[in-house]
Amino acid sequence: MSFQIICSQGRVGDRSDRMLEGAKLTAEKLAQKYETTPNYIGKRSPAKNDDWSVALPEAGKTLDQLQSELSRCLSNSNVPVIFASNTCSASLATLPVVASSYPDVKVLWIDAHSDFNTPETTESGYLGGMVLAATCGLWDSGYGVGVNAKNVALIGVHDIDAEEFSNVNSAGVLHIPPAELTPDSVVNFIGDSKVWIHVDWDVMDPGQISADFKVEGGLKFAQLLELFKSLPSAQVMGLELAEFCADSHLSAANSEGLDLISQAVDSLFKQNKDSL
């Protein structure tokens, strides 16, 4: 099976430089395995601990380029897209494009956090914590909306602010925390719809795949594999892999994490196939 691989290399609210490197390593690993060439978008700049109101306009060029590239990729609808993303913030660009092409798309947001804050409810000012709310129309990022909140499933979310949780419930988003996750529940939610999957590696219980925001009580890798093996791969349009936190001093840890990421991708897209 062939893939189109996009890799974000422009800062989109990054508060650590290690996610840009993690995205690059992820893209390189998967490109080598699936014998393709990634398209790198954006130019690196240093991470900063800035407010969303500063980070968003600074990321404008990268977000514009990501939207153009994903639009091009989706025109070749028979080839799934893998997006190696530095931060969840980059999904401000991707999800509206996906929803424009497929208004009834089901979105699986696999993350420790719901990213459903707004400028009015955010406590941290972090752009990445407001992404899904923007694409569902709760606030205007300038990069579009179109995702139907009732077509979104939060999978593995287990660290959520009170006001953010209120936003989730009011919007009608499905929430499946780690202890309640079963493959059948997700397959039933998907039905016969097209699917777009977002994975932030902080959804995993710490110590499995390195992520910047470590939160105890997450998914076990075996749970993710079981879920991915159960999903209807022919309906999956694309897969976002966000916030792998590379460590330049721990090449062995990077290698182990990338091997697990590769295994997860393989389990999703090799379903019912003897080989890729």
What single string gives the DSSP state of each residue in the chain? ---EEEEE-S-SS-S-THHHHHHHHHHHHHHHHHT---EEES---------HHHHHHHTHHHHHHHHHHHHHHHTSTTS-EEEEES-GGGHHHHHHHHHHH-TT-EEEEESSS-----TTT-SS--GGGGHHHHHTTSS--SS-----GGGEEEES-----HHHHHHHHHHT-EEE-GGG--HHHHHHHHTTS-EEEEEEGGGBPTTSS-BSS--TT-B-HHHHHHHHHHS-GGGEEEEEEE-B---TT-HHHHHHHHHHHHHHHHHHHSTT-S--
Average pLDDT, rounded, for the chain: 94
Q: Tokens 């994975």 correspond to what residue?
A: 199
Segment 216-232 shows an average pLDDT of: 96
Which of 149, 150, 161, 263 shows the shortest CA–CA distance to 204? 263
Segment 68-93 shows an average pLDDT of: 95
- Residue 210's alpha-carbon distances to 63, 235, 256, 259, in angstroms, are 25, 29, 10, 12
Torsion angles phi and psi, residue 168, rounded to 5 = -60, -50
pLDDT at res. 249: 64
Which pLDDT band holds residue 74 (cuts at 50, 70, 90)?
very high
pLDDT at res. 248: 67
pLDDT tens per residue, range 50-64? 999 999 999 999 999
- Residue 241's alpha-carbon distances to 81, 225, 248, 274, in angstroms, are 11, 14, 19, 24
pLDDT at res. 154: 98
pLDDT tens per residue, range 152-206? 999 999 999 999 999 999 999 999 999 999 999 999 999 999 999 999 999 999 9
Segment 31-47 shows an average pLDDT of: 96
The neighbouring-strand residues paired with 204 are: 219
At 244, list the tokens: 């792998």
pLDDT at res. 252: 79
